[in-house]
Structure 1
Amino acid sequence: MTYYIKVEPNVKIYVEDINPKGNKTILFIHGWPADHNLFEYQFNKLPALGFRCIGIDIRGFGNSDRPFGDYSYNRLSDDVRAVVDALKLQNFTLAGHSVGGAIAIRYMARHHSFGVSKLALFAPGAPSIIKRKDFPYGVPKEEITSLIEQTYSDRPKMLQNFGEIFFFQNITVPFSDWFFNLGLKAAGWSTAAVAKNFINETLFSDLNKINVPTLILHGIHDKVCLFELGVALNKAIKNSKLVPFEYSGHGLFYEEKEKFNKELVDFIG
């Protein structure tokens, strides 16, 4: 089933609800600069195991509305809350990849874990994607600045370049084209606006507000959100477990999809 859920008077979020009668619910938040289809290889398998899988396109991406305005983590987490309320979700697993992980963490802090029984973070862009004076584990700020500049000057080329560092394992040309086209569906202004969060926002103060069991899956070869971010989160989040993916970069949900799906299923139980 698919829905357009109103989150503001003139903004609707696209939602795909797979196996609505499933016994356990997972709400997936995708990473930058794609959409919910990033989780195709989870949606293919998990519903058959009895899971209800809900994928959303964050505002500005995929099939959601693309307003010119606020794309802060607060706003994006409020959109998630609007979806949770509209679908009356309870006792669900909140799952986020990359910036989706950052949005999930902000949701947990800002909305007091509303409805969430477990949290799953995949190569999360938290607590800070970039290096800072008191946090040496991220990528240089200049890398993000370059992504933003390329978005404004030649977004297709930026997406192509980004796809080349996204995966550690070799992928086929058709798969690369598919991934590239997910990014093209977004608006240029929303692509840039969310990337600016990587510089302007941090989630250090959000972490001690997470009070549910947390799974962190992270590729050790990740060049986007470095593996050290997963280590830092594991130390900061109570009752968390970090699982390294030895043969993956940022795209661990595809590169080691069998292991990924098993770890997620075992965690939810």
Structure 2
Amino acid sequence: MGYFVAVESHVNIYVEDVNPGSEKTILFIHGWPANHKLFEYQFDVLPAMGYRCIGIDLRGFGNSDKPLHDYSYDRLSDDVRAVIDALNLKNFTLAGHSVGGAISIRYMARHNGHGVSKLVLMAAAAPSFTQRPSFPYGLPKEAISKLIEDTYNNRPKMLQEFGDMFFFQNVTEPFSDWFFQLGLQAAGYSTAAVLESLRDESLFADLGKIRVPTLIFQGIHDQIVLPQLAVAINEGIPNSKLVWLESSGHGLFWEQRDTINEEMSQFIG
């Protein structure tokens, strides 16, 4: 079932809630530039295995409201907290992909892991999505600035080119169009604003504040979140396990969906 949760007086977040009667809950935070439908191939399987799967559309994306401002990691993690409190979620697993992983990490640090018993990170854009003097493993900042410029000048072309980098495995034209349409559901300005957060923010200080068991997935062919980032996350989070996916790029949730679904179910129990 789908419904909206007010996170501010003027901002409502869309929530998709499948199998709400189950006590085993997973809250999914999607990556840029998509929405909760990114996890279709988890929602197809995990609820039938007894899990309650909740997906939210981040502000500015999917069916959620699209305010003009406020797309920092702090604000986005506060939205996650508002949804958690509204649904009275406890002892649940938080799962984030790409920037959704970054937001999940910020949530764990900023809100002291409120309600979370386990954490799953899929190609998380952390501890820094971009290169820094002491961290040479991200993408060049200039590349993200170019994406922002392209978003404002020709967003459909930018989304198409980004989609071409997203998957390591060959995808059909209908599948590529499905992914492309997810990006179009966002506002152009929110698409650019989250890119600014990806470019400018970092999570080095957040990693050590995570105190729950953490499962990290990383595709070895990822051209967007480079594999070295997963190594840094694994080293920075105590009690974390890194699973390498040999046949995946950034779209690991689809490219090796069976492995991810099985590993998640074993991890969560």
TM class, shorter-length: over 0.9
Structure 1 residue aligned with 2:182: 182
Q: Which amino acid aligns with 1:55?
A: G
Structure 1 residue aligned with 2:153: 153
Structure 2 residue aligned with 1:46: 46
Q: Which amino acid aligns with 1:3?
A: Y
Q: CA deviation at 1:84?
A: 0.2
Instruction: Look up the SS of the partner of 1:112 in the other structure.
Output: coil
Instruction: Look up the SS of the partner of 2:102 in the other structure.
Output: helix
Structure 1 residue aligned with 2:139: 139
Structure 2 residue aligned with 1:98: 98
CA RMSD of aligned residues (A): 0.5
Counterparts of 1:24-173 in structure 2 under 5 Å? 24-173=24-173
Structure 2: runs of 5+ lacking an equivalent: none
Instruction: Look up the SS of the partner of 1:169 in the other structure.
Output: coil
Instruction: Look up the SS of the partner of 1:250 in the other structure.
Output: coil
Q: CA deviation at 1:23?
A: 3.0
Q: Which amino acid aligns with 2:21?
A: K
Instruction: Look up the SS of the partner of 2:3 in the other structure.
Output: strand
Instruction: Look up the SS of the partner of 2:238 in the other structure.
Output: coil
Structure 2 residue aligned with 1:2: 2
Q: CA deviation at 1:140?
A: 1.2
Q: Which amino acid aligns with 1:213?
A: P
Counterparts of 1:158-237 in structure 2 under 5 Å? 158-237=158-237
Structure 1: runs of 5+ lacking an equivalent: none
Q: Distance in 1 between matches of 2:254 and 2:2?
A: 24
Q: CA deviation at 1:255?
A: 0.4
Q: Distance in 2 between matches of 1:11 and 1:198?
A: 22
Q: CA deviation at 1:3?
A: 1.2
**After the TM superposition, which parts of structure 1 deviate over 2 Å for at least 4 consecutive aligned residues?**
none
Alignment: residue pair count: 269
Instruction: Look up the SS of the partner of 2:208 in the other structure.
Output: helix
Paired-residue identity, %: 67
TM superposition score normalised by structure 1 = 0.99
Q: Distance in 2 between matches of 1:266 and 1:227?
A: 23
Q: String of CA shifts for 1:113-134, please: whole Å, max 9, x gaps.
A: 0000000000000000111000
Structure 2 residue aligned with 1:257: 257
Q: Distance in 1 between matches of 2:213 and 2:57?
A: 25
Structure 1 residue aligned with 2:268: 268
Structure 2 residue aligned with 1:239: 239
Instruction: Look up the SS of the partner of 1:209 in the other structure.
Output: coil
Q: Distance in 1 between matches of 2:2 and 2:90?
A: 19
Q: Distance in 1 between matches of 2:226 and 2:30?
A: 17
Q: String of CA shifts for 1:164-185, please: whole Å, max 9, x gaps.
A: 0000000000000000000000
TM superposition score normalised by structure 2 = 0.99
Structure 2 residue aligned with 1:17: 17
Instruction: Look up the SS of the partner of 1:16 in the other structure.
Output: strand
Q: Which amino acid aligns with 1:176?
A: S
Q: Distance in 2 between matches of 1:3 and 1:42?
A: 20
Q: Distance in 2 between matches of 1:199 and 1:28?
A: 22
Instruction: Look up the SS of the partner of 2:128 in the other structure.
Output: coil
